[in-house]
Amino acid sequence: MAVYKRSYRGYSGAYTPEWSRFLILTRYASRNLYRSKAITGFLIACWLPFVVTALLIYLNHNATILSMLKTSGGQLFSIDAKFFKNFLQIQLSAAFIVTAFIGPGLISPDLGNNALVLYFCRPFSRAEYVLGKLAVIAQLLSLLTWIPGLILFGIQASLVGWTWTIDNLFIASAIFLGSVILILVLSLLALALSAWVKWKPVAGALVLGVIFLGAGFGAAINGVMRTQLGHLLSIPIMFEKVLDSLFRLDQTNRIYSEFSPALAWLGLLGIAGACLYLLSRKLRAYEVVR
């Protein structure tokens, strides 16, 4: 429309499909995130363990180096489920930090500026809003967890052949499933805390607090009550337990071996459910004052 023809006119063009609209939030939020050099730098740094691990896999299959080192079994170390689980656990720490940094900035500014009403007065539901915001953290955590994990699995598979790959396909599914659970729980936790605490730094501290102080409280409860149920407050231990079960690792020698994987699964599901409940309570266009 030419500037001289300024007048109100309706819209008669095409519309985008409804299912895709949650991605609009993801797109705008991601664009904002990648503008920050610190965050981009940190995300690149988070790929260092991947580079090192890929190098180790390569070295483990390099005949020249193996003959130079004169290894007895023909390999420097064994590349198995534990190897990939250890990699995922290293990435887990990075995932906690990314979640604590990025999660709180997703919902709290919208609440602080009363922006929710602007979203929800459009054909855009609360579920789509949560999905859109969740996808922001999910894509970042995916870049840190299952994507590099599966690339490493692919490198190893290409170097050792089909037999190993078929025998160890459960490792690939463990990498993916473990990461998805991690992403869901961490994203929901960050969003829920972000929805209840409007001040960004406090919300960030709270995310780390829930993750790490929860583990401390859990250990204290276990010590005092002589139980293992305190681990239900420890997100890292529950994750580890779930990863152990997915990677089919022997758990008898662990200090928390009595804590069953089923309880860990239940605990993580419970946290996700509680976060969804908190989000549904807080994400409203207007609060009803009774």
Partner 1 sequence: MNMTDGGQAGSLSSSPVIEIQNLGVRFGKRDILKNLNCTLSGHSIGLLGPNGAGKSTLINTLLGFYPVSSGTARVLGYDIRTEMKKIRALVGYMPENDSFIAGMSAVTFIRMMGELAGLPSEAALERAHETLFYVGLGEARYRKLGTYSLGMKQMAKLAQAIVHGPKLLILDEPTNGLDPAARLRMVKLIKEMREAKDLHIVLCSHLLRDVEETCEEVLILKQGSIVHYSNLAEERRANRRFVEIEVMGDETGFAAALEKLGCECALAGGKRIKAVVSDDIEIRDIYRVAAERETQLRRLNYRRDTLEDIFLKAMETETANGRL
Please report, as ranges, the residues that interact with partner 1 according to CB under 8 A: 1, 3, 6-16, 18, 21, 24-25, 28, 32, 109-110, 112-115, 117-125, 284-286, 288-290
Which is closer to partner 1, CB of 9 or CB of 37? 9
Residue placing its CB nearer to partner 1 in the complex, 92 or 197: 197
* Residue number, 24 or 55, with CB nearest to partner 1: 24
- Closer residue to partner 1 in complex, CB, 133/241: 133
Q: What is the dihedral of CA 18, 22, 26, 32, to 10 degrees?
A: 80
Radius of gyration of the chain (CA): 23
> Residue 104 region, left (φ>0) first, then alpha (ψ -120 to 50), else beta?
alpha
Q: Which is nearer to partner 1, 112 or 216 (CB)?
A: 112
For the beta carbon of residue 158, count every other beta carbon within 10 angstroms. 11
Q: How far is the CB of 125 from partner 1 (least distance, A)?
A: 8
- Provide the minimum distance between the beta carbon of 279 and partner 1 in the complex, in angstroms, as a whole number: 17
User: Closest distance between partner 1 and the C-beta of residue 198, in Å?
Assistant: 11
Instruction: Select 10 or 161, whichever has its Cβ closest to partner 1.
Output: 10
Q: How far is the CB of 154 from partner 1 (least distance, A)?
A: 34
Nearer to partner 1 among residue 250 and residue 287 (C-beta): 287
State the minimum distance, in angstroms, from the CB of residue 1 to partner 1: 5
* Shortest separation between residue 18's beta carbon and partner 1, angstroms: 7
State the nearest-atom distance from the C-beta of 17 to partner 1, in Å.
9
Q: Are 120 and 285 in contact (CB under 8 A)?
A: yes
